[in-house]
Structure formats: C-alpha cells, structure tokens
Amino acid sequence: MVTLTIDGQEVTVPRGTTLLKAAESVGTKVPHYCYHDGLSSPAMCRLCLVEVEGAPKLQPSCVTQAQDGQVVHTGSPNAEAMRRGVLEFYLVNHPLDCPICDQSGECKLQDFVHAEGREHGRSREPKRVFGRDDFGGDVLFYGDRCVMCTRCVRFMNEVEQDPRLTVVERGNRSVIDTFFERGLDGTNWSGNIVDICPVGALVSKDFLYKQRAWDLDHTPSICPSCSQGCNIDLHTRDNLVQRLKPRTNLEVNAHWMCDHGRHNYEFMNRGDRIEAPLVKEGDRHTEVGWKEALSTMLDRAREVGGTVRAVASPFSCNEDLAALKAVVEALGGGEIVYRLARAEEEIPLKGMPTLARRRDLAPNGTGADALGLERVGDDDGTGGLETVSSHDGVVLVLGDALQDQAADFAGGASLFVYLGTHASEAVQGGDFILPVTTFAEQEGTFTNRVGRVQRFWPGLQAPGAARPAWLVLGAVASELTEAEPANTAAEAFSRWVASNEPFAGLDYASLGTRGASMNEPVSAAGD
C-alpha cells in the first residue's frame, strides 16, 4: 500500500494504482478519453494530465502510478489550463452537430467542455471533413466526430481479439477504418465499441435518430437472452424499450454484452398482450376481474382435485417459479417441467474467458433446476409436453406460450390454467387465461448459470390488468394453505430463499444491483 495526497486529501491505495483511480477513490473524477477500465492505457488523449509535485511536466494520471508521499493536484492552475487547452484542440475539428448527433446528452466531449472548457473556442479555420462510413454490423462511423481515443481499435484487438479496426494515416489525417471491405460484419461483440466511444463517432444503426439520450429512462436489469446473466440497463421511453446497454459488473460481464443480447429486445415491446383475466364459458372466453377470476378458479380447483402437471418457463424469475411450485404443492403435488432452447455453440469473448453468449438461451434455467423443475423438450425449446397435454388432472402453464402445441393441448384436463403474456392457439382451450407481466415489467431475480442471483427492476408499465406471476400465484397458494400471501417482491424473494437451502442467507436488499452467489455454486460444466 502507498499513501499519497490528492488535492489535499490523504489517501492510501494498493501499490500499482494509477493516479486516476486513486483520485476516483477520493471522489475526484479526472476527465479522460483514451483510458477505459476494460482496456490498455495508451495515455494519448492527454486529457487526464495532473500536476505531481516534483515532476517536471504534467503527468497523465491514467498511467502514472501512485507513490508514497506523492503530492498530486488535479485542479492546479497549470493542470486546468492544459486540460482546457486539450479540450480546445478537440474542438478545432470536431463538428458542433450536437443537434443531430445521437451521442448528444451522453457525450463526454460535451460533458468535459461544459465542465472545464473555454467559453469560446479560438479556431476560425475550416474543419477537416471525413464523412460517414458504414463499418458493417450495427455500427456507423462519423469520422468528423472522432476524438482518436482508439478505444474501439483496442476493444477489437484486446477484448474481442478479432482485429477489424485500425488507425490509418497519421497526424490530423488519422482516421479509424476497417480493413478493406471486411468491416465488422460477422463479429459478435462489436456493439460494445458504440458504448465505449466517448463521442458520437460510432453510433448504432438500430438506434440511429430514434431517441434523444436525455429522454431515456435507465432501469437496471439482467439480459434475458442467455444464462450468462449479463448486467444491463433497459433504456426506455414511451413505455417501450428503446435499446439495451451493458451495465458494469466485473464479476459477470465486466463492461460488455454480446450483440445478440443487445438486439433482442423487441419482444419486450410486443403489443398483442393478454390484458385481462379470461374465464372460459362454453367455448368462449369472457373478461373478468382478478377477484372473480381467482375465486372461480379456486372453486374449480377444489372441486376437481386430482394430480397436477405444470409447465414453467426459464424466462420466469425465481419468485414466480417458487410461487408456482407452492401452488402445485398446495394442490396435492405433481411434476413441473420447463423447456429451454439451446444454441449449437457458445460464442466466447476471447479477452474475457468467463464471458460468453451461453448455449442455454434463457436467463433462469439454473433457477428452475434449483427448484427441482425438470427440463424437457428439444434444443429448439419445443416438444416434450406429451404427458402434460394428455394429463386428465389439473394442468398449470406459466410463461411458456406453447407455440408448438396444437389447439387440443390439455383437452382432457379437468382444469387448465394458463398464466402468460400471449395467447397462442394451444392456449385457447384454457379454462382460465391469466395475464402476467414480463421480466421488464416487474421486480424479481434470476439465477445465472453459475448460481449468481441477480435482481432486475421494472422498466415498463404492465399492460392492462397484467400482474407479476408471484403475486397471482402467491394469492392462490395463500387461499389454498391459509398462509399470508407475499405482498412485495422482497417478501416473494424471502419465501423463495426459505424454500431453497442452497440460497439460504441471501438478502434481497443486499443483493443490490450486482447480485450475489448462492451458497453452493452449481457446476458450470456441461453447459
């Protein structure tokens, strides 16, 4: 450990810590472009210069290591003047097209110039023009806006380890380019370069001109596209998810997410939702209120009795699955199965061995397994429901839309209850069709492939009368067992924890936004 003084504040940091990180630990943010936590430090943007007493020149804080007794001034007149100078240099050629730039509002050049820059730039000379280039994949390049931090080049070289980008030419003719016509097509992680670009030089085609950054609400969530459990933010507006961005969690996904996950959000915005509880009367379904639907359903359930067979979904959170299990047990017990699509192979991120787009294409297969649910069906997530479909007792379906099933699904069941978001043909035979929320509309937790339990929050409002499944099923279970129902997600979570030994001791609040591992991590092998 070394002890140094930063802006008059004494701080002790591990040996090898950079001044930039040491300053961050006392709450001083030194502006920077080329430095990124997940990449190497070329110290070339020269924006993080700070004054170190005794050093002949200003030092780049991103590579200068803290030393015992060092006295550092991040805001000395000289350091501020030089940083102001560097910012002025950026504006010599950076176009002020903020009104039509997607990055506007989350642009580091805007931020730093507003914070430290000159009120008026002195450049009167014509700016150089590079124009726009399609880099392939989802990435569009606006050369004029580039601040030449080379984060994108380094990401492709160091993290994706598929060198597709480079700096061509030199001096102020330097420009980022692809190799001939190869571009970024076929890469699986290149969407991250849009995130790490500090300005609007690299933008997403998918998001191009779609929304202004400052209009978006950010909701911490978990990527539902595979069992890795990447931490993400839902960026929403008008009750629609507009884009997904990775959220930093060094233990799961660091700063990254794959392009498949990033672009798989339209299903959260699907419009044809079940919006009210439906009760079957004759061969028609009638909309009713929740109270009536549940009391009628409970009456029917008590009346028909018999064994239960249930289908769950690995897209449902731990709380929903636990509530389903409680209902099945209250009805006399029975088996619960789930289906999960499986990709042919993993898509690894070479620079981060613990991160990949996993084969299991759902967020909570591990949570389902931990509750004793049985995985059935094939690698497309279809089939395997013959015993459920032909069951003559109670059939419960949660979350699985039964897309591959025929209209006579569970035709012989004494009671067929469907809780879901969309009604496929197979659902039409349901005695009760109950609307539940998606993960984007409710609170809950997923258990990723290595047993890490991570929370997500609602970013969208649920349509109509849709309610979280844990709330609906919890109410049903409490009626059947005369126990107190769970009224909050936290209560639902503690019931799930209580019923699952491996998760004992986990506390909802302290999971925070980063999650925690269950007591005995499940083996990640064989995934």
Partner 1 sequence: MAYPYVSDREVRILSKHFGDPAARTLEGALANGRYEALKKALEMDRGAVIEEVKTSGLRGRGGAGFPTGVKWSFMPKDSGKPHYLCCNADESEPGTFKDREIIRWDPHQLIEGCLIASYAIGAEHCYIYCRGEFFEASSILAKAVEDAYQAGYVGKDILGSGVNVDITVHIGAGAYICGEETGLMNSLEGRRGQPRVKPPFPAAAGLFGMPTTVNNVETLAAVPHIVEHGGEWYRQWGTEKSPGTKLFCVSGHVNRPGNYELPLGFPLKDLIHDVCGGIRDGNALKAVIPGGSSVPILSAEESEECALCYEGVIAAGSMLGCASVIVMDETTDMVKQVRRMAYFYQHESCGQCTPCREGSAWVTKILRRIEDGRGKEEDLETLVEVTTQMTGTTICVLSDSVAAPVQSSIEKFRDEYLALIRRGERVGAA
Kind and range of the H or E run holding 302: helix 290-304
122 binds partner 1 (CB under 8 A): yes
Is 324 a binder of partner 1 (CB under 8 A)?
no
| Least spacing, CB of residue 446 vs partner 1, in Å | 42
30 near partner 1, rule: CB under 8 A:
no
> Judged by CB under 8 A, which stretch of 16-24, 37-45, 338-346, 483-491 contacts partner 1?
37-45
CA distance linking residue 458 with residue 467, whole number of Å: 12
Q: Which two tokens stand for residue 488?
A: 């909050």
Who's near 171: CB < 8 A, 6+ residues apart? none
Instruction: Name the minimum Å distance from CB 87 to partner 1.
Output: 9
x/- binding map, residues 50-69, to partner 1, per CB under 8 A? ------xxx-x--x------
Structure tokens at 387: 């015993």
Say if CB 497 and CB 489 are below 8 A apart: no
Q: Which is nearer to partner 1, 57 or 132 (CB)?
A: 57
Site for partner 1 in 125-184 (CB under 8 A): 125-126, 128, 147-148, 150, 167, 169-174
Residue 483 dihedral angles phi and psi, to the nearest 5°: -95, 165
Where on the phi/psi map is residue 192: left (φ > 0), alpha (ψ -120 to 50), or beta? alpha
Own/partner pairs, 415-424, CB within 8 angstroms, 24+ separation: 415/297, 415/300, 415/301, 415/304, 417/297, 419/469, 419/472, 419/473, 420/274, 421/270, 421/273, 421/274, 421/466, 422/270, 422/272, 422/273, 422/274, 423/274
By C-beta, is 92 or 406 nearer to partner 1?
92
Interatomic CA distance for residues 298 and 290, integer angstroms = 12
* Nearest-angstrom CA–CA distance, 384 and 487: 34
* Shortest distance in whole angstroms from residue 241 CB to partner 1: 36
User: Of the candidates 47, 66, 331, 466, which one interacts with partner 1 according to CB under 8 A?
Assistant: 47
Stretch that binds partner 1, among 118-126, 203-211, 296-304, 360-368 (CB under 8 A): 118-126
Nearest approach in angstroms of CB 114 to partner 1 is 18
Give whichever of 8 and 131 is closer to partner 1, judged by the CB atom.
131
- CA pair distance 199, 103, nearest whole angstrom: 6
Distance CA 419, CA 467 (A): 10
Q: Counting contacts by CB under 8 A, is residue 216 touching partner 1?
A: no
Interface residue with partner 1, options 6, 13, 39, 45 (CB under 8 A): 45
Phi and psi torsions of 347, nearest 5°: -115, 100
Considering only residues 430-469, where is the footprint of partner 1 by CB under 8 A?
A: none
* 43: contact with partner 1 by CB under 8 A: yes
**Does 49 help bind partner 1 (rule: CB under 8 A)?**
yes
Interface map 78-97 toward partner 1 (x if CB under 8 A): ---xx--xx-xxx-xx----
Decide: helix, strand or coil at residue 193.
helix
62 vs 241 by CB, closer to partner 1: 62
Per CB under 8 A, residues contacting partner 1 are 42-47, 49, 56-58, 60, 63, 81-82, 85-86, 88-90, 92-93, 122-123, 125-126, 128, 147-148, 150, 167, 169-174
